[in-house]
Amino acid sequence: MSLNGKPAPTSNPSTSQSTSQILDPLPVVHSPTSQQPPSPRSAPSPADGAANPRVNGTAEPPLDRRSSAHITIPRHLAHRPHLSELRSESHRSLSEALRVQRSHEEQETLLGDDEDADADGCLREEGPDAPGEIFCPDPHAGLGVYMTIHRIRRIVLATIDDPYTFDQLKEPRMNVLIVKPMVDRLYDEDDVSVVYCLLVNRLQFLREQSYQHHHQTVNLTRANMCELVAMKMLRKYDETFSGRQGLLSLSNILVAPFQPFSGAPESVRPERLQRKWKYMSQGGYEGKLTALEVAIISESKMFLSSSACQKIVDAVYRGRVVYTPTAFLDIIPDHYKHKPITLYDPRKAPILNQYRLIVPRTRNIIEVVQFVLLLALFCASMMNRNGADFTKIEACFMIYAAGWVLDEFASMLEHGWQVHTQNLWSFLDITFVVIYVAYFILRMIGFCNGDDESGRQALDILAIAAPIMFPRLAFNLMPENMLFISLRAMMSEFTALSLIAVWCFGGFLLSLKWLAMGNSKVDFDDSPNPITISKWMLWIWFGLDGTGIEEAPTFHSILGPTLMVVYAFLGNTLFLTVLVSILSNTFSKIAADATAEIQFRRAVLTFEGVKSDAIFAYRPPFNILALIFLVPLKFVVSPRWFHKINITLVRSLNFPILMIIAWYERRSLWKQSKRHRLGPSKRSKWDFWNWSGFNVHADLQAVFDEDPPREVVDAIEAEDELEEAILENSFGGNEMRSRSVSPGNAVIRRRRLSSVWQG
């Protein structure tokens, strides 16, 4: 049965197993609004029901002729046996729900003392008996990523033929007929690249949507389908693997690097993959991207906002999951060591662990401190400005800002322009870089030539950076504020619309100037110049002054006022009304999906925070010295000695920071596991210093501070013990009639299960 209510083509049992395993369970979806007649092979005849009364050895239910707009699920399941398991798999028992909850708690609690980690604090997936390696080769290099990408593309192209919205794709009917069979078809416990391949296909469909106008909406639907299947697939992996090993499995899916041409024939592999620059060698990880990065550049916000994805994003952000990232271009590459994706145990790691400097949370705090210092030096240098000579504070600002600009430039090279611009405050950073470069060049020209005027102009250029730097600090401190998230999108649209308006209204400026040139009553030297006319038009645009309308007869007695009045209607009334409407619509869309927007920005911040370039381990302005000395040293010494020199310098320069990080993470990185205590609780032990008793609602939180005693847990389990037969009766529909359970008891059981069942 198709989704538009038309009969689906009946499959021949004798040939169903010999056909392709790719497209067998996935019917081609047509739009419900489509009025196309069914094909001859899809229209069942009365003879078909008589000639083919049995399907897979079972009697086919009689056709329901009441309405062609309804789907008869039992008859549909008779043709698709794989869907008959969907109902039983979709209901989770109470024990299963509790198991998943315990797994989630285990993934956040402290690693056990009996779990052996490496000397650097990394708990590997292979276990403690695995041989330690300085450079871990890619464990997923043998996966057929190329074939999986094109297999998924064939499935999606054959399945989606009509446009659907994202909400329509998430409807239960689409989930049963299309999404769930596709997830079951593509799911493979041993292949962690399937989610990556789905997101790559989404990115390709979005590209095709931009230039294939005859398939624009269909390609957008296919892209959304890839994102939805990837989200369902990641959730299935999360439910399959539990505990800390499940956390590592999800991490391999999201942050393990993959190459799209992995497993491809040599005839289709591009030549650039064979050319490698020795200076940028990464030991086989060159040109590989992670599923998290592909999700960011494809703006898969629903995928990134899913609970399974956010679990890994949070673990990477806090530093519980560590890995060695790949980069597009490194200024100071140091790839002598490459660590696999592991869990981090700070208790068994060295105190001076330089790799903790690339943890996103630590990196974010350091960047905020660096920018506050930059802002303080900027304000001090401008308050003591001297165009004729350098002051000490200005020299300090110039050197420190040069290091900060170098850090920003390295961030652009790390993952490319497209990822960097997804950052919330990237446009503010880029604007400051442009202002600083202009200031630096003009200031150096004035200093070398002894030109005081050039020095004053350089400081004037630097002064306009104040409207950029103060909002940037607010963006840093409140990155999840809806005002700042929407402001970024609205500023982009406002700039684009303003440029279009200036382009269009430039014709009015030329017309008025040419009318003034042809007016014989006004001398050419006395006629308004283009700057004056532009000023009058700008005042009219914002409704500030009507001088332009008063001076319109000086251009032409009839055409001058006419042009000015038409411009006032279009510019001040029509354009501003349209602009306000568009910006309001933009804000409404962002506010309606605020959670996805916030979690998307959080994923961008986390992904960008894991740095590969060694230059990020040096604080400004020491990164300038590192650039001057370490880059030439890279060509002189061996990779092993270069790594030793780099590590020694990083630990020496960041000694206080590394000590603070080690002290904090050994106490707060992992949550303490809850254990039943025989003695007094922590609340009673510290009762003298506990001021929570003065809070009216203190007991609402205190009741969850410790796990309940064993006798309470046994009583709860005895009361909430549910059997599979009761579960089937609660959700089974027609099966309830064959059970000796009263409807009242079934309702009670259903209500009790609803508190734990998350299907």
Whether 427 contacts 491, CB under 8 Å = yes
Query: What DSSP line would sit under 254-291, residue for residue?
Result: HHSEE-TTTT--TTTS-GGGT---GGG--SS-TT-EEH
Sole residue written with tokens 């890619």 = 138
Q: Exposed e or buried b for every residue in 396-429, given b needs 16+ CB within 10 A?
A: ebbebbbbbbbbbebbbbbbeeebbebbbbbbbb
User: Are residues 384 and 495 part of one domain?
Assistant: no
**Rounded to an integer, what distance in angstroms lies between the CA atom of residue 726 and that of residue 731?**
9
Beta-bridged to residue 322, according to DSSP, are: 342
**Rounded to an integer, what distance in angstroms lies between the CA atom of residue 174 and that of residue 29?**
9
Whether 377 shows a pLDDT value over 60: the answer reads yes
468, 494, 526 - which closes a domain: 468
- Residue 173's pLDDT is what? 92
- Residue 360's pLDDT is what? 93
Whole-angstrom CA distances from 374 to 361, 381, 387, 397, 467 are: 20, 11, 20, 7, 14
Assign 720 a pLDDT band (cuts: 50, 70, 90): low
Domain encompassing residue 528: 483-606
Mean pLDDT of 262-274: 79
Secondary structure class of 30 (helix, strand, coil): coil
**Rounded to an integer, what distance in angstroms lies between the CA atom of residue 121 and that of residue 350?**
7
- In single-letter form, the type of residue at position 371 comes to F
In a domain, 729, yes or no: no
Q: List pLDDT tens digits, range 660-670.
A: 999 998 888 87
Query: Distance between alpha carbon 669 and the CA centroid of its chain, in Å?
Result: 23
Angle between helix 466-477 and 426-449 (nearest 10): 140
Whether 178 contacts 296, CB under 8 Å = no
- Residue 522's pLDDT is what? 64
Assign 633 a pLDDT band (cuts: 50, 70, 90): very high
Whether 228 shows a pLDDT value over 90: the answer reads yes
Whether 39 shows a pLDDT value over 60: the answer reads no
With 0-12 / 13-18 / 19 or more C-beta atoms within 10 angstroms meaning exposed / middle / buried, residue 324 is buried
Mean pLDDT of 99-122: 60
Q: What is the CA radius of gyration of the chain?
A: 33
Mean pLDDT of 351-380: 93
User: Are residues 572 and 521 part of one domain?
Assistant: yes
Structure tokens at 371: 């920018």
Whether 625 shows a pLDDT value over 90: the answer reads yes
Mean pLDDT of 200-229: 87
Structure tokens at 235: 């959730």
573, 606, 639 - which closes a domain: 606
193-202, 589-598, 684-693: range with lowest mean pLDDT: 684-693
Tell me which of 738 and 193 has the higher pLDDT: 193
Tell me which of 44 and 450 has the higher pLDDT: 450
Sole residue written with tokens 């689409």 = 174
Cα maximum dimension of the chain: 105
Q: pTM for the whole thing?
A: 0.74
Tell me which of 547 and 407 has the higher pLDDT: 407
Whether 134 shows a pLDDT value over 50: the answer reads yes
Assign 757 a pLDDT band (cuts: 50, 70, 90): very low
In a domain, 23, yes or no: yes
- Residue 397's pLDDT is what? 95
**Rounded to an integer, what distance in angstroms lies between the CA atom of residue 232 and that of residue 247?**
17
- In single-letter form, the type of residue at position 405 comes to V
User: Are residues 456 and 401 part of one domain?
Assistant: yes
Assign 145 a pLDDT band (cuts: 50, 70, 90): very high
395-399, 436-440, 606-610, 688-692: range with lowest mean pLDDT: 688-692
Sole residue written with tokens 């140091």 = 334
Mean pLDDT of 148-176: 92
Assign 282 a pLDDT band (cuts: 50, 70, 90): low
Whether 247 shows a pLDDT value over 80: the answer reads yes
Assign 730 a pLDDT band (cuts: 50, 70, 90): low
- Residue 304's pLDDT is what? 94
Structure tokens at 510: 């030329």
**Rounded to an integer, what distance in angstroms lies between the CA atom of residue 693 and that of residue 304?**
40
User: Are residues 462 and 496 part of one domain?
Assistant: no
- Residue 156's pLDDT is what? 94
Q: What totals of helices (H) and strands (E) does the chain contain, helices first?
A: 35, 7
Beta-bridged to residue 290, according to DSSP, are: 257
413, 445, 468 - which closes a domain: 468
- Residue 102's pLDDT is what? 62
Mean pLDDT of 596-613: 90
For residue 480, report the phi and psi dihedrals to the nearest 5 degrees.
Answer: -105, 15
Give the number of C-alpha atoms closer than 13 A to the C-alpha of residue 420, restricted to the C-beta side: 19
Tell me which of 528 and 119 has the higher pLDDT: 528
User: Are residues 299 and 168 part of one domain?
Assistant: yes
Q: List pLDDT tens digits, range 566-589.
A: 988 888 788 888 888 998 998 898
Mean pLDDT of 322-345: 86
Structure tokens at 209: 């949507």
Q: Domain total for the chain? A: 4
Mean pLDDT of 6-20: 40
Q: Exposed e or buried b for every residue in 457-467, given b needs 16+ CB within 10 A?
A: bbbebbeebee
Task: Count how many residues are written for the chain.
Answer: 759
- Residue 629's pLDDT is what? 94
User: Are residues 17 and 138 part of one domain?
Assistant: no
Assign 694 a pLDDT band (cuts: 50, 70, 90): low
Assign 721 a pLDDT band (cuts: 50, 70, 90): low
DSSP state of 54: E
In a domain, 104, yes or no: no
- Residue 223's pLDDT is what? 94
**Rounded to an integer, what distance in angstroms lies between the CA atom of residue 463 and that of residue 378?**
9
Whether 157 shows a pLDDT value over 60: the answer reads yes
In a domain, 121, yes or no: no
Whether 74 shows a pLDDT value over 70: the answer reads no
- Residue 718's pLDDT is what? 75
User: Are residues 261 and 147 part of one domain?
Assistant: yes
Whole-angstrom CA distances from 471 to 173, 324, 465, 591, 602 are: 47, 33, 11, 21, 19
User: Are residues 442 and 547 part of one domain?
Assistant: no
Alpha helices in 343-391 (DSSP H): 360-383
Neighbouring C-beta atoms of residue 728, cutoff 10 Å: 18
Q: List pLDDT tens digits, range 520-554.
A: 666 666 677 888 888 888 888 887 888 888 888 88
63-72, 152-161, 284-293, 446-455: range with lowest mean pLDDT: 63-72
User: Are residues 367 and 297 part of one domain?
Assistant: no
Whether 58 shows a pLDDT value over 90: the answer reads no
- Residue 504's pLDDT is what? 83
Whether 306 shows a pLDDT value over 90: the answer reads yes
Assign 5 a pLDDT band (cuts: 50, 70, 90): very low
User: Are residues 167 and 33 part of one domain?
Assistant: no
Q: What is the dihedral of CA 634, 635, 640, 645, to 10 degrees?
A: -40
Q: List pLDDT tens digits, range 474-517.
A: 888 888 888 888 888 888 888 888 888 888 888 888 888 888 87
In the chain, the percentage of residues whose pLDDT exceeds 70 is 70
For residue 321, report the phi and psi dihedrals to the nearest 5 degrees.
Answer: -105, 125
In a domain, 697, yes or no: no
Structure tokens at 538: 């700008």
Whether 468 shows a pLDDT value over 80: the answer reads yes
- Residue 151's pLDDT is what? 94
- Residue 215's pLDDT is what? 65
Secondary structure class of 450 (helix, strand, coil): coil
Query: What DSSP line would sit under 555-566, residue for residue?
Result: T-TTHHHHHHHH
- Residue 386's pLDDT is what? 85
| Most confident region among 240-249, 466-475, 736-745 by mean pLDDT | 466-475
In a domain, 451, yes or no: yes
Helix (H) or strand (E) holding 123: strand 122-123
DSSP state of 83: H
Tell me which of 432 and 759 has the higher pLDDT: 432
User: Are residues 294 and 441 part of one domain?
Assistant: no
In a domain, 647, yes or no: no
In a domain, 646, yes or no: no
- Residue 543's pLDDT is what? 79
| Most confident region among 30-44, 204-218, 344-358 by mean pLDDT | 344-358
Structure tokens at 758: 């998350």
Whether 646 shows a pLDDT value over 90: the answer reads yes
Whether 33 shows a pLDDT value over 60: the answer reads no
- Residue 756's pLDDT is what? 39
**Rounded to an integer, what distance in angstroms lies between the CA atom of residue 604 and that of residue 317?**
11
**Cα 553–555–560 angle (5° rounding)?**
65
Whether 226 shows a pLDDT value over 60: the answer reads yes
- Residue 503's pLDDT is what? 87
Whether 510 contacts 533, CB under 8 Å = no
User: Are residues 245 and 190 part of one domain?
Assistant: yes
| Most confident region among 35-49, 125-139, 640-654 by mean pLDDT | 640-654
